[in-house]
Amino acid sequence: MSTVDTPIGPFTAIVAEDGAVLASGWTDTADELLPQVSPKLRPSVLSVRPELGAVTTAVREYHAGDLGAVDGIEVRQRSGEFMEAAWTVLRTVPAGRPITYSDYAALAGRPSAIRAAASACARNAAALFVPCHRVLRLGGKLGGFRWGLDAKQWLLAHESAA
């Protein structure tokens, strides 16, 4: 686990032993992240490190303007078949081109499963690396975001400016 400062606030990532992101978000505590990690993946012991190599570098580079820096970072989340597929699809949504929950459900292969798509966003443990902030309500309203609407607005503005 490591925390770095970003323009939005502290960003913490929890990674597996092999470096795959298990959970991440704009917080300085693991207490907000660990409950989001599948019990099958949750580490029994967390060690705090000053940085996490490629993960920390990607977070810093993304916030500095390299929006693709997070794309190659491995993420590991577990849930049902639809959730896992939906998280994979979400990683294909380009920065600066947000989609609606309806569009997201269709991309995930279940166009009528709009609530399930919204639930996939809400249950996403790996914020930024799985960019749930790129999903909006119809008409462009922000909808929800675990890390706050100010953070979501900042991310969307950051991506549209690049």
Q: pLDDT tens digits for 18-50?
A: 999 999 999 999 999 999 999 999 998 999 999
Residue/partner pairs of 135-140 with CB below 8 Å, 24 or more apart: 135/90, 135/93, 135/98, 135/99, 135/100, 135/101, 135/104, 136/98, 136/99, 136/100, 136/101, 137/100, 137/101, 138/100, 138/101, 138/102
pTM of the complete model: 0.95
Strand, helix or coil at 141?
Answer: coil
Active site residue 132: yes
The answer to whether residues 60 and 7 belong to one domain is: yes
pLDDT digits (tens, 9 = 90+) for 108-123: 999 999 999 999 999 9
Q: CA 141: distance to chain centroid?
A: 19
Of 90, 132, 135, 156, catalytic: 132
**One domain, residues 46 and 12:** yes
| Contact (CB, 8 A) for 98 and 156 | yes
Does one domain contain both 132 and 93?
yes
Residue 13 domain flag: yes
